[in-house]
Amino acid sequence: QDGGDGHDEL
Amino acid sequence: MNIFRLVADLMHLGSILILLLKMFTSRSCAGISFKTQALYLIVFVTRYLDLFTHFVSVYNTFMKIFFISSAGYILYMMRVPLKDTYNKHLDAFRWEFLLGGAGVLALVFTHKYTVIETLWTYSIFLEMMAILPQLLQLQRTGEAETITTHYLFALGAYRALYIVNWIYRYETEHHVDAISTMAGIVQTALYCDFFYVYFTRVLKGKRFKLP
């Protein structure tokens, strides 16, 4: 969840 | 999603609407840095490439499309209908350094060496510094229209609320993204001088004027 492709913020 | 991030995003959206309102009502882009606006378009395009690969929510998709298209529209307004009101001599920041510097930082700090991830990191570092041409222009002019200062305040408030959002996310989800947090703190700090003048002058009904 830290970093990687899962950016959920704008 | 939490309330701080939601309000932050709405302030960001609101800042763009204020900027468009300024351009429409005054039929002028005087006082606005084209370079800062162009940097924001690059920021949005490089950050939101995941529109095609990673679905978060309808809200998230809508906002990404809004930010990219409004940034493109603002550049069009400044270049075509309002071209004669743009003062290139006041917009003198050497933005090549920002474009290059963000590139170096992205290559050093990115979480993963994939194209999308490195461009995401690039967008974070570029956004960190994208307001500098606008702040330089403000400093050179020494004063600003009130509506322009509301635009800048909304933009700065959006950044400050993101810090609160990260603290909240750390407490509730143990979620930390070191890159966006560090860059976000630097970015918010750039607004300190502006906030001071905004609170002590503009909110008291006076004109924005640097001491």
Residue B211 pLDDT class (50, 70, 90 cuts): confident
Which residues of chain B approach chain A closer than 8 Å at the C-beta? 5, 9, 12, 50, 53-54, 56, 60, 63-64, 67, 111-112, 114, 116-117, 120, 162, 165, 175-177, 179-180
| Interchain CB distance below 8 Å, B67 and A6 | no
Residue A1 has a pLDDT of 38
Residue type, A2: D
Q: Check pLDDT > 60 for residue B154.
A: yes
Q: What is the DSSP letter of B27?
A: S
Question: Shortest Cα distance from A5 to chain B (angstroms)?
Answer: 7
Q: Tokens in use for B93?
A: 């920041």
pLDDT exceeds cutoff 70 at B158: yes
Q: What is the pLDDT of residue A5?
A: 52
Of the two residues A1 and B158, the one the predictor is more confident about is B158
- Torsion over CA: B5, B129, B14, B70 (sign): negative
Contacts for B167 with CB less than 8 Å, ≥ 6 apart: none
Q: Which member of B9, B60, B116 has the closest CB to residue A5?
A: B116
The mean pLDDT value for B124-137 works out to: 98
Could B177 and A10 be called an inter-chain contact, meaning their C-beta atoms sit closer than 8 Å? no
Of B9, B50, B177, the CB nearest to A2: B177
Determine contact, residues B208/B198, Cβ cutoff 8 Å.
Answer: yes
| Beta-carbon contacts below 8 Å between A and B | 38
First to last CA, chain B: 40
Nearest of B71, B14, B70 to residue B42 by alpha carbon: B71
DSSP secondary structure string for all residues of B59-94: HHHHHHHHHHHHHHHHHHHHHTTTGGG--TTT----
Asked if B180's CB is within 8 angstroms of A10's CB, the reply is no
What are B183-206's pLDDT values in tens digits?
999 999 999 999 999 999 999 999
Query: Residue B90 — very low, low, confident or very high, per pLDDT cuts 50/70/90?
Result: very high
Rounded Cα–Cα distance for residues B192 and B127 (Å): 16
Tens digit of pLDDT for each residue in B159-183?
999 999 999 999 999 989 999 999 9
pLDDT band at B91 (very low <50, low <70, confident <90, very high): very high
Minimal-distance CA residue of chain A relative to B61: A10
Report the pLDDT value the prediction gives residue A6, as an integer from 0 to 100: 75
CB contact under 8 A, A5 and B179: no
- Rounded to whole angstroms, the Cα distance separating B137 from B93 reads 8
- Mean per-residue pLDDT, B80-84: 98
The verdict on a CB contact (< 8 Å) between A4 and B112 is yes
Q: Give how far the C-alpha of residue B37 lies from the chain's centroid of Cα atoms, to the nearest Å.
A: 8
